[in-house]
Amino acid sequence: MNAFDKNTGLVIDDAQLLADEAKYSSFGDTVHYVDPPKIFRTCNGSYMYDTAGTPFLDLQMWYSAVNFGYANQRLNNVLKNQIDLLPQVASQYLHQTRIELAKTIALDAKKKFGLDGRVHFNVGGAQAIEDSLKLVRNFKNGKSLMFAFEGGYHGRTLGASSITSSYRYRRRFGHFGERAMFLPFPYPFRRPKGMTAEEYSENCVNQFARLFETEYNGVWDPKTGQCEYAAFYVEPIQGTGGYVVPPMGFFKGLKKVLDQYGILMVVDEIQMGFWRTGKLWSIEHFGVVPDAVVFGKALTNGLNPLSGLWAREEMINPTIFPPGSTHSTFNSNPLGTSLGLEVMKMGYELDYETSVPKKGAHFLEGLKDLQKKHKEIGDVDGLGLALRAEICTDDGFTPNKALLDRMVDIGLAGDLEHNGKKIGLVLDVGGWYKNVITFAPSLEITHEEIDLAIALLDQLITKAKRSM
């Protein structure tokens, strides 16, 4: 039955909405993880609420786009104020927060990386990846081939799909002649037997370095000192690939090879940026200097589609990358840049570099306790509040997608219990075998909410095992 809400107007019931969705909406622009798809009505903090008012503790926060919590009043107020001040302006004109935000990010990079650079805006992560591809091709005299990682994900536009390892994103869209060369990413839990994680990491670097040994290895011309490939696109921690954290020495070894042969390192921070790991950029943990950094998602806490990239001055100065090199009608829009500037200010003021590692350690400790209780949890790991739990069979290693799928269904049914009341749990599925829970809770999550999350996960996996 339809109801009328004084704040939102006519509220159409779930059944009618789902029927209309099935008839009128393209399914190509979304992913229906459960059947029927879940409808939410409101949100606040770490929670979303369905039509019945049941709270759902969200442990993935819109794929790490809402790092600072749903309905964050400080950020909401910035958006409201900007609407009354300067809600929109064509992207060929300037406004204050666009310039301030670019300066803030560039100065932060100068401090951390020791390099002058500039910031370039777009709308959405895949679009920023597209811009970075243009930037790299331009700087490398038209070279269009890239290196990327197995398990990597950079988006689903045509260019981003060419550097995303999964064939399923390319399968129906013709031939990708400039598809990246995909190299192994060190996956410590599934490393070869007999190797330590560090030895495995070194082996991955050595496999890459071998491509340059002679001209017959295929990518290097020693007579001219030129590589056929322009850049290596990396996620410091794989996102969709399962929040895989490589050994800390991995990127230093990789960067040494890249620098030796003049290959750019482009770092994709779209999912791990803005303090998800306890640093503004996750690459900061690994002690290397990137040539470019691509960002998006949490820059506006999910309130506005804004993304961008930082690149060193030699690549992006106006002489080499002039006006009109890329364009989007809505890039650097004032609603987005005002939010992004406030996110940067808030991150410094609230010192997420201190609080996130502490909360992450507490969460990881809880996951390790769960692992002792449930042999189906084969691996837990994480950096800051980017955490993983790999769901396996009872041997603790064989991937168990079916069990995790059941856990997701039960979590979204909203039938877990807390203090005698119904509660749900929102999880995200990732990993090479789609058997990894990728945790990206709000950076504002409390220690009490972390304890609740662990208790609900305990309920969830117990229920799921019994129902299999």
- Block means of pLDDT (10 residues each) for the chain, 468 residues, are 56 92 87 84 97 97 97 98 96 94 98 98 94 96 93 83 78 74 95 96 96 90 93 96 97 98 97 98 98 98 97 98 92 96 98 98 98 98 98 98 97 96 97 97 98 98 95
Distance (Å, rounded) from C-alpha 79 to C-alpha 87?
9
In this predicted structure, what is the pLDDT of residue 5? Answer: 58
Q: Which residues face 311 on adjacent strands?
A: 118, 292
Q: Is 139 exposed, middle or buried (0-12, 13-18, 19+ CB in 10 A)?
A: buried
In this predicted structure, what is the pLDDT of residue 351? Answer: 97
In this predicted structure, what is the pLDDT of residue 155? Answer: 85
In this predicted structure, what is the pLDDT of residue 458? Answer: 98
In this predicted structure, what is the pLDDT of residue 390? Answer: 98
In this predicted structure, what is the pLDDT of residue 276? Answer: 98
Residue labelled with tokens 């302006």: 89
In this predicted structure, what is the pLDDT of residue 302? Answer: 96
Distance (Å, rounded) from C-alpha 366 to C-alpha 465?
20
In this predicted structure, what is the pLDDT of residue 1? Answer: 39
> What is the number of alpha carbons within 13 Å of residue 141 lying toward its C-beta?
4
